[in-house]
Structure 1
């Protein structure tokens, strides 16, 4: 039976680059369970989480030969896990829109080990309700309904510059209101980051 010793990433990288089976097995045992739990927490499906993590280790085996000598293996694995969970959520037909947005935003939070609960999401929703009418409507359409700026512009009969301005103002006001709650700020950043990436993808 393998004994997992405490070693630096550089030792594992050296073995992985040589495609050493023992090193690969050590790395698998070190990270597999934690990655499965991480993905499962965000997508809510244990079996699917296992499948996604297995794919990650397949990518590890395929990519490890090209790793640089100084390489943060743990960050790379968690980055792949986060991206896999996001891709899964984006392609999943989720009935509960709020649950979907909350789960997806959690994956962008600065602290990957923090959990976001429904009360925190409700706190952000309450803050959105205090925005001026036009700003609130645009923020809801962009962040909650997932509409792109041009769609909002057409639907409301306003310019895209107005949409961008109102989204920016809404984000600023919400940050000010939620400034006493770091996790609410993390979730808020995640929601607006998703909307921004969606807009970037459209432009591309």
Structure 2
């Protein structure tokens, strides 16, 4: 016959001992301490995702080692120390990543390579957008921007009204603005 326990009323140490064979007991530990550990991590790191990851790592490690762990302090103190240790490691790792990024991105040759890559990517995107324009719109835009014809000249060449020429150019510019918005930082003044 299966034994039912009131996990909520149990002391931490008793609950942890039971969690070695009973997953429901471990779930109670998780429920008791998740919010507290998350709050500590989030308060320090100010990043919800990193705080959640840290707390999950602590509980995964605790679950995997639950049969071998022997506490010299209370479970609460152990978890509190674990979260602070993980926070310290995360801050140290972030500091290292930050220094690395500063070194990599401050290197002049690296800046040139990234600028070249961005320019090449932008050029490919412009071509893609251009070839996806409606045919008539693309023709009018080419005559205007690439060949330098006035709107009046284009109107006469294609036997369409001046307002139609304006609409085609406006439509093309609107499409370009929309499709190239992610590259706007490249055009802003430094």
Give the TM-score, by structure 1 length.
0.41
Higher relative contact order (CA 8 A, sep 6+): 1
Normalised to the residue count of structure 2, the TM-score between the two structures is 0.44
* Larger Rg belongs to: 2
